[in-house]
A and B are shown apart, each in its own frame.
Chain A
Amino acid sequence: MLGLQPGSSTVVPTSAPVGHRFEPYDSNGGSIAAVCGKDFCIIASDTRQSTGYSIQTRYKPKVFRLNDKATLATNGFAADAEAMVSRIRQRLEWYRHSHGRSMPLHAIARMISTILYGKRFFPYYVYNILGGLDEEGKGAVYSFDPVGSYEREFCRAAGAAQSLIQPFLDNQIMFKNQHSTPEHTVPKPGEMSLPDVLKIVMDSFTSATERHIEVGDGLEMFVVRTPPSAQGEAIGAASVDLKAMGGVEAVGGEDEQEEGAVMVIRRELKKD
C-alpha cells in the first residue's frame, strides 16, 4: 500500500507489498550414524520421516546399499537425498561398465565430494555418511558436509540427534575422557568386535528416540563385511551369525552381490 506524506508531493511507500519467496528446502528429521571396526562397518539410521511437528511416514529408508563394499547414509532434505543417491548409483553403474569392477570406497568418497561441490551454489541439503570396507578390507567411515568437505573417521553421527549421539560415540568408540588404570588399559579405537558395536549403535538410537522428537519408529543397521563364504575358516566379523540376530540380505544398488556381504538388521523404536 502506498501512502502520501502530508505536505509532500512525492509518494513515499509506507509499507512494502508482502512478498513470499518460494523456499526450495525442507528438513525431514531423523538421524544417522556409522561406526567401523577392523574388518566391518555398521551404517545405521532411524526410519521416521517428518516435517515440523508432523510425522510423514514411519518407514522411509535413509541408508542405501551401493555395492558389496559401500553403503551410504543420508540425512537432511529427503528429496535432495533421493535425487543425489540416484545420481551416485548411475555413476557407479557407468564405472562398472567401463572398468569391469565396482568402484572402490575411497573413490566413491571423492566422487560424492565432487558431486556435492558441483552444486555448491544450490546445494543438496544432505549430510552424508559413507561406510564400508577399503581396498585392504578394513572398515572405513567417510563423513561429508552438504557442500563436499569430507574426511575418513572411525565413527560419525549426523542429523537431528547428532548432538545426542556423537558425544556418546566419542566416549564409547573413541574412548574419549577414559583413562587407563593399572588394572585396566583403555583399548585403541576401531578394534571393537561387531556384536559390541551393534549394541552401542542400538543404545545410541534408543536413547536418541527418548530425548529427540524427530527420532523414532524404526531402526535399520546395515552391516558391511567380508562375507563368511569368501574366507576359508570364518574369523572376526565374518564369524558372527547375523541371521540369528534377525539380519537379512540388503538389496538395492549394484546387482552383483555376494551373500552376506551387506546385511541389514531391523529393530523397532518407540513411535511416540
Chain B
Amino acid sequence: MNYLPGQTWSSQPAQHHHQFASASYNTDPSAHTSQPIVTGTSVIAIRFKDGVMMATDTLASYGSLARFMDIKRIEKVGENTILGASGDMSDWQYVQHTLDKLMLREQNENDGHILSPSQIYAYLARVMYNRRSKMDPIWNSFVLAGVDPKDGSPFLGYVDLLGTTYSASTIATGFGLHLAQPLLRKAVEGREDQIEEEEAKRILEECMKVLFYRDARSLNRFVIATVTKEGSKISEPYSVPTSWGFAEMLRGYGPQTQ
C-alpha cells in the first residue's frame, strides 16, 4: 500500500507496517474548556466570631438565559469544610466528584485523620494550578471555608482557574468582587471576632440583595452556609424582600407591564 507522506487515512483495510502502529488513535485535538457555558455568578463569604459564613444564589445561567433555577453552588466537603463555586457548572460538578473521591479515599484509610480545611484547600489549589499549566483550565473561582476540627481556627480561602490563591476575612467572586466586596470589607474588616452569627447573616443577606438588584445573572433565591467548630450547615434556599418603589416613575422595569 502506498501512503502519501503524512497520510493517516486509506480506503483500504488497515495494513500494519510495523509493530507499534496501533490500529486506531484519535488525532483530534483534545477538547479543553475554552469558555464557560452554563455559569454560576458570585460567591460571597466572610469570617465571623464563631467561624465562617458563605452565600450563593441557586441560579445557573446559559448566557443571558436563566437556565437552571435550583442548582447547588455550595457543597459540604467532609464535616468541617464547605466549598462555593462560580463559573462553569459542569467543571464545578467535576470538581465535586474529584473531591468526593479524595474524601472517600481518605476515609477508607481509617487512620483517625480527616483532612482539615487548609489541607483540602492546598489539594484543590494544586489541582487548579496543574490544569492551568496544561492549558486545560477548570473554569471556576472557588471559595473554600471551614473551621479546623483540631484547634478551632477559621479558614477562608480563594482559588481560581489560574491557580491564584489567597486568604482574607472577606472574599467575593465574579460580580460580587465589584459590588459586594467593598460592603463586606466595611462591615467586617477589623471586627472579625466581634460579629455574631445573626449579624453575619444580615451582612450577607444585604449583599445578596445588592447583587440581585444590579447583577443581571443573579436570582433572589439563595442559600447561606455556616461553619463553626460544631460543624457545617447549609440553609434551604430563601429570598429577601426587595423594594422597587424608586422605579415607580421609570419605564422599562418595575411594576408596569408596559
Contact = CB atoms under 8 A, between A and B. Distances in A.
Nearest to B181: A54
Interface string A1-45: 000000000000000000011101110100000000000000000
A83 interface: yes
Interface residues of B, number: 19
A163 interface: no
Given A54-B177, A79-B129, A83-B129, A24 B166 contact: no
A92 B167 CA distance: 27
User: Would you call the interface of chain A mostly helix, strand, loop, or mixed?
Assistant: loop
A18 B178 CA distance: 27
B142 interface: no
B35 A20 contact: yes
A20 B34 CA distance: 7
Contacts of B162: 24-26, 77, 79
Contacts of B178: 54
A4 B162 CA distance: 41
6 contacts: A25-B162, A49-B166, A56-B164, A59-B167, A78-B164, A79-B132
Contacts of A56: 158, 164, 166, 168
A77 B129 CA distance: 12
Given A20-B35, A24-B132, A79-B163, A57 B168 contact: yes
Interface range on chain A (Cβ under 8 Å from partner) = 20 to 34
A57 B137 contact: no
A82 interface: yes
Contacts of B129: 79, 83
Interface in A67-98: 77-79, 82-83
Interface string A47-71: 0010100101111100000000000
Interface string B93-132: 0000000000000000000000000000000000001001
A60 B125 CA distance: 15
B166 A60 contact: yes
Interface in B141-170: 158, 162-168
